[in-house]
């Protein structure tokens, strides 16, 4: 696959938003088990806002796409997780200054910067039962893959395995940490969202 353009990134965000919206009720149910039940509604609403804002931009650059998504998540979601998901795109956007075409190595660096930002902001490590349990292995798998389509596929598989692994964890961050043992048996909603976003990224673009 060729390097990604701004249009490819806009399509990517659109596919992610569509996939998360389709699973909104499932994500709300996961959050009802371990948190306050709003995760599906808030993340799908914020991603829909991102798609709408991107659609209103005239000739956006790759950085504009990532920054607009960051702002929609930071402003349109609220709560602790809006800051966490928004920071992922905000830190990635900083890597896109004056970049027109994005290679696999560029995208790997952008994802790694996003992950580092998420961890600096939220202090979650792998094993704490958060979105980091899906994001960290996805970012590593993406960087290790040989080419673009296989990188998205490998990242999607790693994110799905990571999200599934949260099912048996005690939570050490977010609202779920107040549940103690009762969080065991339920996958983390944020990790499940990350898995859906990477699954959408791995789909061929229309």
Q: Which residues pair with 137 in a beta bridge?
A: none
Q: Which does 191 bind (CB under 5 to 8 A by kind): ligand ADP, Mg ion, none?
A: ligand ADP
Could you tell me the smallest distance in angstroms from the CB atom of residue 174 to ligand ADP?
A: 3
Alpha helices (H) in 94-147, listed in sequence order = 104-122, 132-144
Task: Kindly indicate which of the ranges 16-24, 108-116, 120-128, 157-165 contains the residues binding ligand ADP, using the contact rule CB under 6 A.
Answer: 120-128
In eight-state DSSP terms, residue 176 is G
Residue choice 20, 67, 93, 132 for contact with ligand ADP (CB under 6 A):
132
Q: Which residues contact 52 (CB under 8 A, 6 or more apart)?
A: none
28 binds ligand ADP (CB under 6 A): no
Residue choice 6, 49, 84, 158 for contact with ligand ADP (CB under 6 A):
84
Neighbours of 82 (CB within 10 A): 18
Torsional sign, CA 34, 12, 71, 53: negative
* Burial of 163 (C-beta count, 10 Å sphere; 0-12/13-18/19+): buried
Could you tell me the smallest distance in angstroms from the CB atom of residue 32 to Mg ion?
A: 9
Could you tell me the smallest distance in angstroms from the CB atom of residue 73 to ligand ADP?
A: 10
Q: From 206, 190, 21, 2, select the one nearest 104 (Cα to Cα).
A: 2
- Which of 27, 145 has the CB closer to ligand ADP? 27
Residues found near Mg ion in the complex (CB under 5 A): 31, 35-36, 38-39
Residues found near ligand ADP in the complex (CB under 6 A): 31, 35-36, 38-39, 42-43, 79-81, 84, 118, 122-124, 130-132, 173-175, 188-191
């Amino acid at each position: 696959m060729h390097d990604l353009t701004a249009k490819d990134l806009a399509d990517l965000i659109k596919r992610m938003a569509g996939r998360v919206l389709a699973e909104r009720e499932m994500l709300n149910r996961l959050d009802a088990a371990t948190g306050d039940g709003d995760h599906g509604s808030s993340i799908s609403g914020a991603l829909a806002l991102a798609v709408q804002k991107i659609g209103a931009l005239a000739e956006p650059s790759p950085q504009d796409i990532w920054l607009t998504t960051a702002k929609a998540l930071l402003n349109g979601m609220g709560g602790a997780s809006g800051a966490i998901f928004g920071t992922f795109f905000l830190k990635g956007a900083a890597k896109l200054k004056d970049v027109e075409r994005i290679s696999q190595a560029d995208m790997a660096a952008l994802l790694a910067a996003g992950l580092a930002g998420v961890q600096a902001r939220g202090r979650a490590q792998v094993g704490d039962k958060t979105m980091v349990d899906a994001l960290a292995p996805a970012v590593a798998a993406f960087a290790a893959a040989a080419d673009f389509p296989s990188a998205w596929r490998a990242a999607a598989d790693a994110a799905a395995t990571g999200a599934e692994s949260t099912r048996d964890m005690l939570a050490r961050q977010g609202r779920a940490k107040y549940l103690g043992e009762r969080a065991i048996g339920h996958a983390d909603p944020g990790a499940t969202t990350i898995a859906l976003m990477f699954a959408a990224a791995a789909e061929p673009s229309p």
